[in-house]
Amino acid sequence: MERCVSHRPVAGRCVGHKPNDAARWEPLEANRGFELPGDLREWVEPRTLLSWVEGEVHKLDWSNPVILQYLKHHPDYRPKSMLSILCFAYACEMLGGEEIIRACRSNEALRLLAEGAPFEMELRKFRRNNRGLLERVLTQIFLRAAAVRFGFDPHNCPHDLKLDLATCAQERLDTARHIDGCE
């Protein structure tokens, strides 16, 4: 899989009045971009990645009455678990449904998230119906990884960098969809 590349500066200082003013972000030295690895475990420990996934999933509004009503009628539906499984797997460059199912049995972190191996069709359906959520959580995970790797505050990074990372998340989800279409 190709690495997602951002041409935005990740280490720098603001030269404008607003810290998030991407147009006024001045890079330090010649640092004008980076490559996001296919597997974020190249940059961070699996436990760290797992805690980020759980943290980002936990931040979502799970008290929405529509969600609560749906869960009441579908007690076997596990949206937190499915979202966590897919985001961790995608962050580790496990993109195909079959590969993720196998990893839910062999990978310690995924085994913890899975609470029993999901079915491949369950994963595909969840991904198709919740692409926006997957993209949002994956983007935040990419942002955290880049912030740790390059030593910047993820709350004060340039807007364009966030857009690049969102594009990386979209590309990863597109690749996963294509892999599942070929299996």
**What pLDDT digit, counting tens, does each position of 5-63 carry?**
444 444 443 333 344 434 333 444 444 566 788 999 999 999 999 999 999 999 988 88
Quick count: other Cβ atoms within 10 Å of Cβ 158? 23
Identify which of 182, 146, 152, 109 has the alpha carbon closest to the alpha carbon of residue 5.
146
179 and 95 in contact (C-beta within 8 Å)?
A: yes
Listed in sequence order, the DSSP H helices in 60-130 are 65-73, 79-91, 97-106, 108-114, 120-129
Identify which of 92, 121, 125 has the alpha carbon closest to the alpha carbon of residue 107.
92
Q: What is the pTM of this model?
A: 0.79
Whether residue 80 has pLDDT greater than 80: yes
56 and 139 in contact (C-beta within 8 Å)?
A: no
Q: Look at residue 27 in the predicted model and tell me its pLDDT.
A: 43
Q: Look at residue 124 in the predicted model and tell me its pLDDT.
A: 83
Q: Phi first, then psi: what are they for 95, rounded to 5°?
A: -110, -30
81 and 113 in contact (C-beta within 8 Å)?
A: yes
